[in-house]
Amino acid sequence: MRANKFANFVLISGILFFLMALIYDLYKIMILSSLDKHRLIFAVISLAGVVICSFALRLRQDYKINLVLTGLSICVSVYSVEIFLFSQKTDIRQRLAQKMEIPFDTRSKREIIQEMKEQGVDTFPSFYTHLIIPKNGLEINGERIFPLSGVSLKNTVLCNESGKWVNYKSDEHGFNNPSGLFEVEGIDVALVGDSFTQGICVKQGEDIASQLRRMSGLQVINLGNGGNGPLLELASLKEYAEPLKPKYVLWLYYEGNDLGDLVSEQSSPFLLKYRNHRFSQHLINRQSEIDSILIKYMEEIGGETVLDNIVNIIKLWHLRLLLIKPSLPPLFTELLKNAKNLTSAWGGKLYFVYLPAWNRYATDLEHGTFYHRHQVLSIVQHLKIPIIDIHDRVFATHPDPQSLFPFRVFGHYTSEGYSLIAQAIHASLKNDGFLKQEKVKSEK
């Protein structure tokens, strides 16, 4: 009798769970501008879960109990894999460092920030805009705002992939730049992109933009922020690059997650407003508001917490990342076209910089189809946007491409990797005649 009651409880709970998941999936599908096939799959799975649990309630007692035990066994197995993947993500670098006898700082980001504050250094974690997509932005003075950078002029803690924690002093708009660049007349190059553009996880000055400044002597500004996908990058272009009107814009595309990020971004009605070239939040003139709302937001969430990790595990985030490969959203082409038109409107020129992922060099694979590489490059070529292919120019010709990633595992590039990328970009701009023109201009 107790077993039967337990089975009924599990099945009724399953019906409620799958029903809520179905309602959520249908809501997301309704507000998306285009149908996401993965969201549709989740909706079908949720519907199937409701039907199966409802049907199971009517089964004979022994069948019902066996079905519930089988279902629970599957759930335990799946979550065991998820927890294993989570533990691998958090521990693998520490284990490798120990094996290689390399010092590794095991303190958490929260501990680093707390210790710096105790030393009198006003410190904040790096803010990632994609975290507020589920909230459709933040609210300030009765209206919504989508910050695209961090708190300004503060010590900002990034991450630790090499064994040492990395931090930088943010500029007057919360980006990873020296202070004062936004006041310089005649910005030559602006970079938009995600964490690889921002400079995770290397020291300030070792990111791509900083190295380009040193190589070329040009005024180069970094507008990258971790977690950005194509829609957030178009937003950054509109909010911060358009007022500066740089001669060149480098759109840094990271193959590992940009398409998946776009799937998430297009679920935000607010961010979709950037499809209209007239829309702007005028963020470049609202830094005091941005600082105020971000400081409040970060104090509330307290950086990455145990709860964040638990939520990710419940959502099977690591397992889904491993198994689900995002398709190429139709919106991708539209956003790139808008970026090119926006840049051209002020007389600038847009470049598409293709950044490869570690996975590409870890196993044998078909390079053209992996991460939709040929499809993506075909779209860019069709739009007549010049391409700087870092896979071809740097990694494919390198004798040991995995050495350009810390501890040779999945993650961001080493300082050497960023340096080689900056050299490839510099060579492309030089071949295009841009650097030659600038040199003549400066000599006059």
Q: What's the pLDDT tens digit per position in 388-401? A: 999 999 999 999 99
The label of the residue with tokens 């079905």 reads 67
Mean pLDDT of 276-283: 96
Q: Look at residue 374 and tell me if it is in a domain.
A: yes
Residue 175 and residue 296 in one domain: yes
Q: What is the mean pLDDT of residues 8-34?
A: 76
In a domain, 368, yes or no: yes
Listed residues 80, 99, 118: the one ending a domain = 99
* Average pLDDT value for residue range 153-166: 94
Query: Is there a single domain that holds both residue 321 and residue 180?
Result: yes
pLDDT band at 432 (very low <50, low <70, confident <90, very high): confident
Q: Averaged over 156-185, what is the pLDDT? A: 94
The whole-number average pLDDT for the span 102-121 is: 92
What pairs with residue 189 in β-bridges?
220, 248
How confident is residue 237, by pLDDT bands cut at 50, 70 and 90?
A: very high
In three-state secondary structure terms, 302 is coil
pLDDT over 90 (residue 191): yes
Q: Which of 242, 226, 234, 232 is nearest to 175 (CA)?
A: 226
One domain for residues 439 and 329: yes
pLDDT at position 45 is 82
Q: Is residue 244's pLDDT more than 70?
A: yes
Work out the average pLDDT over 146-165.
95
Q: Helices 61-99 and 2-31 meet at what angle, rounded to 10?
A: 60
Convert the pLDDT of each residue in 283-317 to its tens digit: 999 999 999 999 999 887 654 455 556 666 766 66
Q: Is 156 helix (H, G, I), strand (E, B) or coil?
A: strand
Alpha-carbon torsion (295, 299, 300, 303), positive or negative: positive
- Looking at the fold, whether 203 and 344 belong to one and the same domain comes out as yes
| Residues 206 and 343 occupy one common structural domain | yes
Q: Note the pLDDT of residue 406.
A: 95
Across 221-225, 296-300, 393-397, 408-412, least confident range = 296-300
Percentages of the chain per state (helix, strand, coil), in multiples of 5: 55, 10, 35
- pLDDT band of residue 444 (cuts 50, 70, 90) is very low
> Which CB contacts under 8 angstroms, 24+ apart, belong to 14-23?
14/49, 14/53, 14/71, 15/49, 15/50, 15/53, 15/54, 17/49, 18/46, 18/47, 18/49, 18/50, 18/53, 19/46, 19/50, 21/46, 21/49, 22/46, 22/47, 22/50
Q: Considering the domain boundaries, does residue 104 fall inside one?
A: no
Would you say residue 369 lies in a domain?
yes
Query: Looking at the structure, do residues 199 and 66 belong to the same domain, yes or no?
Result: no
Q: Is residue 363 part of a domain?
A: yes
pLDDT score at 33: 44
Q: Are residue 201 and residue 226 in the same domain, yes or no?
A: yes
Last residue of a domain, one of 79, 99, 119: 99
- When pLDDT is cut at 50, 70 and 90, the band that residue 441 belongs to is very low
pLDDT confidence bin for 273, thresholds 50/70/90 = very high
Give the pLDDT confidence of 55-104 residue by residue, as tens digits: 888 888 888 888 888 888 888 888 787 777 766 665 788 889 989 999 99
pLDDT of 135 reads 86
Average model confidence (pLDDT) for the chain? 88
Report if residue 420 sits inside a domain. yes
Residue 141 binned pLDDT confidence (cut-offs 50, 70, 90): confident
One domain for residues 162 and 303: yes
* pLDDT of 218 strictly over 60: yes
CATH number for the domain including 210? 3.40.50.1110
Residue 443 has pLDDT above 60, yes or no: no
Domain boundary pick from 99, 127, 155: 99
| Averaged pLDDT, 39-64 | 83
Instruction: Please determine, for residue 11, whether its predicted confidence score (pLDDT) is greater than 80.
Output: yes
Q: Which of 160-169, 293-302, 334-343, 405-414 has the lowest mean pLDDT?
A: 293-302
Which one is predicted more confidently, 4 or 383? 383
**Whether the predicted pLDDT of 221 surpasses 80:** yes
- Domain residues for the domain of 44 are 2-99
Q: Say how many CA atoms lie within 13 Å of 171 toward its Cβ.
A: 21
pTM for the model: 0.84
pLDDT at 38: 60
Looking at the structure, do residues 217 and 284 belong to the same domain, yes or no? yes
Asked if residue 434 and residue 359 are part of one domain, the reply reads yes
- Are residue 119 and residue 51 in the same domain, yes or no? no
3-class DSSP state for residue 122? coil
* Local confidence band at 442 (pLDDT 50, 70, 90 cut-offs): very low
Please name every residue paired with 251 in a beta bridge, in sequence order, or none if there are none: 192, 352
Largest CA distance in the chain: 93
How many domains does the chain contain in total? 2
Residue 326 in this model has a pLDDT that exceeds 80? no
The identity of residue 292, as a single letter, is S
What is residue 1's predicted lDDT score, i.e. its pLDDT?
67
Q: Report the pLDDT value the prediction gives residue 277, as an integer from 0 to 100.
A: 93
Tell whether 349 and 290 lie within a shared domain: yes
Residue 440 has pLDDT above 70, yes or no: no
